[in-house]
Amino acid sequence: MKIKKVECLAVHPGWRKNLIFVRVETDDGIVGWGEAYSQYDRDRAIVAQVEALGQYLVGRQARNIRHFLQIAFDDYAQRRSSLEYWCALSGIEQALWDIAGKAVEQPVYNLLGGTCREKIRVYANGWSYKMQQPADFARAAEQVVRSGFTAIKFDPLPRPWRTYIPKEHIRHAVKVVSAVRSAVGDDVDLLLDIHRRLAPAHAITLSNALAEFDPYWFEEPCQVENLDALAEVRAASPIPVVSGEAMYGRADFRRLFRERAVDIINPDISNCGGILEMLFIAAAAESEMVAVSPHNYNSTTLSLSATVHAAACMPNFIITEYFLPYEEFGSVVTNNPLLPVNGYIDLPKGPGLGLDVNEKVVRSRPSKRYPARTFRMSEDDQPLPL
């Protein structure tokens, strides 16, 4: 069973960024699907990486996943990491596992040693996009909880994202979290995303100010490139600290664990290296008594399914991400989407990743070319020249 064709299909889901699907076909007609992580303005570079890397997969045995991953790093990347490389590798790797499962008519999780759980807890994200006022956050949070979610994630800080912030930004965040907690009650988990933006002093002040609302976690308070800063926050924070979505491969996470910088990691299956790499990272975390909550700012289809299969096999998994604005697209592009019920997703039972992808719909939703954005030093400043 050899690889015949590798194709990258960038699609627009109808909200925010483009999504990047990877289609891999074997010489006996099996088609595997995967998904690479994407960002504004970088999606074309990631597509180029998928196409460049994919040509080295053609003619190889589809089942030799670990071998391809190693030569991709050693010979193609020449042991140099980048976001674009890891995204491309992740999408291709997922598609290979989809093929492996379909070839033997088994779900991927059965090929990985079997499951630790029969359903996967998810938290809702994307519901508070561009909201500013505490009352707006509160009303939207109530609606999400009424739909069945028991955990919700949001960023309480006002824009723009900057390292050093005034005290009024801290006060604003407190008002937002207070309003949401009052709206949803004490039994709903509140996950706070800080998006890597703060200096340690501000992050610690913010964490202490928000602790009274009993948040589930404090995500990415500082840039992960400065592990000393992140560890400083973790040591002082009364809220569990999360990081890892901007790290790629198990070697990156080794540094994170050695510094004792986090309580929970959130690697993304579509940019950390794929399903197998995610499990290697999770196993390393388990030995350090660190929990795993996979990041998933991707579709509610391929990336989510790959995450669910990996999470089913992790003893230290706790919860994963579900982006509500992509739900409608997921229900169109697959005939059997993964839909949460009361905050959980049941494991898919079909072979491979378990999704029936509607290829015609995928090809009918081409990606968008986004216009150049306006960047400002602050909300009151004039736009910076491009």
d(CA 367, CA 19): 8
d(CA 85, CA 88): 5
CA distances from 90 to 30, 39, 210, 293, 339 (A): 19, 15, 36, 17, 23
| Exposure class string for 134-147: b at 16+ Cβ within 10 A, else e | beebbebbbebbee
CB 366 within 8 A of CB 11: yes
* Nearest in space to 212 (alpha carbons), one of 191, 171, 181, 167: 181
- 295 catalytic? Reply is yes
d(CA 267, CA 273): 10
Task: Record the tokens describing residue 353, joined without a space.
Answer: 């990743």
- Out of 169, 172, 202, 295, the active site residue is 295
Count helices and strands in the chain by DSSP H and E runs: 13, 12
Place of tokens 């898919």: 348
Place of tokens 């053609």: 58
CB 321 within 8 A of CB 125: yes
**Distance from CA of residue 62 to its chain's centroid?**
26
CB 263 within 8 A of CB 242: yes
* Nearest in space to 232 (alpha carbons), one of 211, 252, 262, 192: 262
Secondary structure class of 268 (helix, strand, coil): strand
Catalytic residues: 295
